[in-house]
Amino acid sequence: MTSDVIASTETEWALLCDLPELDEGEIATAKHPGGLDLAIYQVEGEYFVTSDRCTHGAASLYDEGELNGYVVECAWHNGTFDIRTGAALTMPCRTPLRSFDTRVDDGKLYINPKPRRFQQS
Ligand code: FES
């Protein structure tokens, strides 16, 4: 175990980054420990992390997405996702984003590196 990992009884948390200061609607980015680009969102003090690339055409949500509440809209074709679950909400997006459990500890943001299990309905 390294200092970048916090173990608990159920989850091993991986250090993602210093807690980003995000104003409403802003999106940050960081790398998953496995190299995947991630998008980081903050809504009402709660942090959410999803994969960064839109599942329709691979646009970067960090670079070009627009966050309104819990919904991020891709700038390329206006598909939307729920940042809480990664669910694809509107066409042309059908495949969910990967989403990760988050934890804030001592000014740092950790994620469970295993994506949440999710079934798009
Ligand atoms: S690339 Fe995101 S909606 Fe098409």
pLDDT for residue 62 is more than 90:
yes
In order of 10, 23, 32, 59, 116, the CA distances from 44 in angstroms are 26, 10, 23, 26, 22
**Ligand 1 center to 32 CA (angstroms):** 22
Taking only the tens place, the pLDDT of each residue in 39-61 is 999 999 999 999 999 999 989 99
Nearest residue to 53 (alpha-carbon basis) of 23, 24, 74: 74
pLDDT for residue 12 is more than 50:
yes
**Cis bond before residue 92 (omega within 30° of 0):** yes
Fold of 5-111: Rieske Iron-sulfur Protein (2.102.10)
Pocket of ligand 1 (CB under 6 A): 54, 56-57, 59, 74, 76-77, 79, 92-93
Task: Quote the CA–CA distance of 43 and 84 in Å, as a whole number.
Answer: 10
pTM: 0.90
Q: Which residue shows structure tokens 């790398």?
A: 31
**Mean of the per-residue pLDDT values for the chain?**
92
- The CB density around residue 2, as the number of other CB atoms within 10 Å, is 6
Spell out the domain ranges in the chain: 5-111
